[in-house]
Amino acid sequence: MKNINLKDLNIEKVHKHLKDGDFTVGELVDSYLEVIKEKNVDLNAYLEIFTKDIKPQVENAEKMFKDGTATLMTGIPIAIKDNILFEGHIASASSKILGNHVAVYDAFVIEKLKKEGVVILGRTNMDEFAMGSSTETSYYGVTRNPFDRTRVPGGSSGGSAVAVASDMALVSLGTETCGSVRQPSSFCGLVGMKPTYGAISRSGIIAMGSSLDQVGPMGKTVSDVEILYKSICGKDPLDSTSLSDEFKSNFKQAPLKKRIGVPRDFLSGGGINEEVLKNFDESCEKLKKAGYQIVDVTSETMKYSLAVYYIIMPAEVSSNLARYDGIRYGFSEKAQNLYDVYAKSKGKGFGKEVRRRLLLGSYILSHGYHDAYYNKALKVRDMIARELVTIFLDVDAIISPTVPFPAFPLGDKMDDPMAMYMCDIFSAPANLAGIPAMSLPSGKTESGLPLGLQITAPYLREDILFTIGKDFEKLV
Ligand code: GLN
């Protein structure tokens, strides 16, 4: 077996090594499989390795190198979250109800990746139906943080984060409804991005909250995340919210003002861990050294984001998950009448957190409460988005810590949903406003837990995240 130093690799380096013949795609993939064999039993990042498919994918990638049709993504070993459909493979959203659900078509992002000749290694553990911030609500056991195995990796894309952080894949795909790519990236020392709503098609992604859901790339460097992002973008007729290149070209890439805003009053609301605050201040200093002006910005509405998210999201969840009725597909419990089929299938097929949100969502949308909760939340969502547009007239981007605290011990917040929801406080504005945001590794706590800096940019200005991100990562 070839001795390849996986820690040191990124997409561009791999591409060069493969082109120069330093190692083959097969040798590279074998090295990752070796690490998976050694570490996955304990970390539980992968629910399944697609053993049977690996050989044909490797052969295809090697052929592309021989033909001269290889792209930067060809031969790159990637992990995918368990809510992304890959034809012929189980996609369970880490739920019992979809435990033996085999995808009958490829998600748009999988189609794209297949064309580029990537090697999809396996599907990764997640919070059930992407509801959670710790990967503990999965029906298939918890995933552990490789920096401290007694702690959570974050969630809901915890498996995708751990796969990359522990060299069980070079890059991975997660999904976001509110922070599920950024938060585990922050807890596991990775770069993770939530793109603009509509930048990537959600066709073939198991839905959670459709006005919020996006696929997001995760990797060790900004450049890896950028390359992966660009390879899965694009208009898809099967997702009416996906944006065309023509539409995107209307958003002129204005030059940077080199001014970054800090929503100081939002951050001073309390509840942020001291080491996180100190690390954030250090990140601001680093950005100043890189030539950015750091200014305070005022927001009247950001503080409402979390409350608004936890009204809109369960409403959409209750509507999206109505399809798991125990009749058409998925887990089903025999019963005497139709009502019992629904009640028993959902009652036994869904875990506690999912059921909590279904009940909440149905309540929010019910007659008499719809206006008071749902419609009001939509109005505040609009105010948040509009205020952000105004703030971005003055600054290129907004920064904050990604999460108010570092990775917490397993089990710590499972009995306290409100405490768990607090993980999302800095994530929510970007999802509600449909704008792009990225988490970058910004250092570690004294005990060695990774911390993250979040950068949020205006609509369709992912380029700003890449530019600032690259400047920042040179200084950490
Ligand atoms: N923590 C968020 C929640 O529980 C995660 C949602 C997501 O991004 N999938 O709703």
**Does position 476 have pLDDT exceeding 90, yes or no?**
no
Predicted confidence (pLDDT) per residue in 182-225, tens digit: 999 999 999 999 999 999 999 999 999 999 999 999 999 999 99
Mean pLDDT check: name the lowest of 103-112, 123-132, 331-340.
331-340
Q: Compute, in angstroms, the gap from residue 194 CA to the centroid of ligand 1.
A: 12
Ligand 1 nearest-atom number relative to CA 310? 10
Contact status, residue 167 vs residue 6, Cβ threshold 8 Å: yes
| 220 assigned to active site | no
329 pLDDT above the threshold of 90: no
Task: Give the C-alpha separation, 286 to 309, whole Å.
Answer: 32
C-alpha 213 to ligand 1 mean position (Å): 10
- pLDDT of residue 249 exceeding 90, the answer is no
Nearest atom, ligand 1, residue 133 CA:
1
252-302+383-473 CATH, one of 3.50.50.60, 2.60.40.1190, 3.90.1300.10, 3.20.20.140: 3.90.1300.10
**Which of 124, 131, 160, 355 maximizes ligand 1 atoms within 8 Å of its Cβ, making it the mutation to test the pocket?**
131
Instruction: From the candidates 31, 180, 299, 439, give the one annotated as an active-site residue.
Output: 180
- Check 156, 186, 223, 400 and give the catalytic one: 156
Q: Structure tokens of 190?
A: 């990775």
Name the closest-CA residue to atom 4, ligand 1: 132
Check residue 127 and give its pLDDT: 98
Class of domain 6-248: alpha beta
pLDDT score, position 383:
98
| 244/412 Cα distance (integer angstroms) | 43
The pLDDT, as a whole number, for residue 251 is: 83
- How far is residue 200's CA from residue 197's CA, in Å, rounded to a whole number? 8
Same fold, 6-248 and 252-302+383-473: yes
Query: What is the reported pLDDT for 93?
Result: 98
Ligand 1 atom index nearest CA of 208: 9
Two tokens, residue 358? 């279904």
Please tell me which residue in 81, 286, 346, 413 is annotated as part of the active site: 81
Structure tokens at 466: 């890449």
**177 CA closest ligand 1 atom index:** 8
Q: What pLDDT does residue 270 have?
A: 78
- So where are the chain's domains? 6-248, 252-302+383-473, 308-370
pLDDT > 80? residue 268 = yes
Per-residue pLDDT at 328 exceeds 90: no
Model confidence at 51, in pLDDT bands (50, 70, 90)?
very high
Contact 186, 403 (CB under 8 A): yes
Reply yes or no on whether 81 is catalytic: yes
- pLDDT of 254 reads 83
> How far is the C-alpha of 471 from the C-alpha of 60, rounded, in Å?
36
Atom of ligand 1 minimally distant from the CA of 176: 8
**Mean pLDDT across the stretch 422-433?**
97
Q: Is the pLDDT of residue 271 over 90?
A: no
Query: 38: CA distance to ligand 1 center in Å?
Result: 30
CA of 428 to the centre of ligand 1 (A): 9
What is the 3 state secondary structure string of the chain?
CCCCCHHHCCHHHHHHHHHHCCCCHHHHHHHHHHHHHHHHHHHCCEEEECHHHHHHHHHHHHHHHHHCCCCCCCCCEEEEECCECCCCCECCCCCCCCCCCECCCCCHHHHHHHHHCCEEEEEECCCHHHCCCCCCCCCCCCCCECCECCECCCCCCHHHHHHHHCCCCCEEEEEECCCCCHHHHHHCCCEEEECCCCCCCCCCECCCCCCCCEEEEEECCHHHHHHHHHHHCCCCCCCCCCCCHHHHCCCCCCCCCCEEEECHHHHCCCCCCHHHHHHHHHHHHHHHHCCCEEEECCCCCHHHHHHHHHHHHHHHHHHHHHHCCCCCCCCCCCCCCHHHHHHHHHHHHCCHHHHHHHHHHHHHHCCCCHHHHHHHHHHHHHHHHHHHHHHCCCCCEEEEECCCCCCCECCCCCCCHHHHHHHHCCCHHHHHHCCCEEEEEEEECCCCCEEEEEEECCCCCHHHHHHHHHHHHCCC
Q: How far is the CA of 133 from the centre of ligand 1 (A)?
A: 6
Residue 264 has pLDDT above 80, yes or no: yes
Instruction: Indicate the average pLDDT of the chain.
Output: 96
Q: Which amino acid is at 324?
A: Y
Q: How far is CA 207 from the centre of its chain?
A: 14
Residue 252 has pLDDT above 80, yes or no: no
Average confidence (pLDDT) over 164-169? 98
Ligand 1 site, CB within 6 A: 130-133, 156, 176-180, 208, 313, 423-424
Decide if pLDDT at 2 tops 90.
Answer: no
- What the block records as the tokens of 155 is 């969630």
Report the distance separating Cα 356 and Cα 93, nearest Å: 17
- Over residues 220-248, the pLDDT tens digits come to 999 999 999 999 999 999 999 999 988 98
Write down the pLDDT at residue 269: 78
d(CA 306, CA 97): 28
Give the per-residue pLDDT at 250.
85
Kindly give the distance from the C-alpha atom of residue 393 to the centroid of ligand 1, in angstroms, as a whole number. Answer: 29
Q: Looking at residue 142, what is its pLDDT? A: 98
pLDDT of residue 34: 98
Give tens-digit pLDDT for 12-49: 999 999 999 999 999 999 999 999 999 999 999 999 99
CA 476 – CA 471 distance, rounded (Å): 10
CA angle 388, 397, 73 (to 5 degrees): 115
> For the segment 53-99, what is each residue's pLDDT rounded down to a tens digit?
999 999 999 999 999 999 999 999 999 999 999 999 999 999 999 99
Give the other-Cβ count within 10 Å of 276's Cβ.
20
